[in-house]
């Protein structure tokens, strides 16, 4: 499974905190609204990494907005 996106988000969060930037936006996948077993197999690893990204943002203490459009992978 990939962690490129969530690792990158953690680096972005760290950089934002180091530079006193308080607001972040993140683009994830609408598959996060699905039950995990309903996510197409080809997207399961990517969806899991999107979830890790979202968790990192929520836990960051930053102000954030997330968009979850359909058909973004």
Q: How many domains, the chain?
A: 1
Q: Is the pLDDT of residue 73 over 70?
A: no
For residue 55, being part of any structural domain is answered with yes
The boundaries of the domain holding residue 19 are 4-67
For residue 72, being part of any structural domain is answered with no
For 9, 20, 57, the CA distances from 5, given in Å and listed in that order, are: 6, 22, 12
- pLDDT confidence band for 1 (50 / 70 / 90): confident
Mean pLDDT of the chain: 95
The predicted model scores a pTM of 0.89
Dist CA 26 CA 67 (whole Å): 6
For residue 51, being part of any structural domain is answered with yes
For residue 73, being part of any structural domain is answered with no
pLDDT, tens only, 11-33:
999 999 999 999 999 999 999 99
């Amino acid at each position: 499974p990939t962690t490129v996106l969530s690792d990158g988000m953690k680096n972005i969060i760290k950089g934002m905190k180091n530079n006193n930037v308080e607001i972040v936006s993140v683009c994830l996948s609408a598959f996060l609204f699905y039950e995990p077993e309903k996510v197409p197999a080809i997207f399961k690893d990517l969806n899991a990494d999107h979830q890790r990204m979202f968790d990192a943002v929520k836990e960051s203490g930053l102000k954030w907005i997330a968009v979850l459009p359909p058909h973004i992978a």
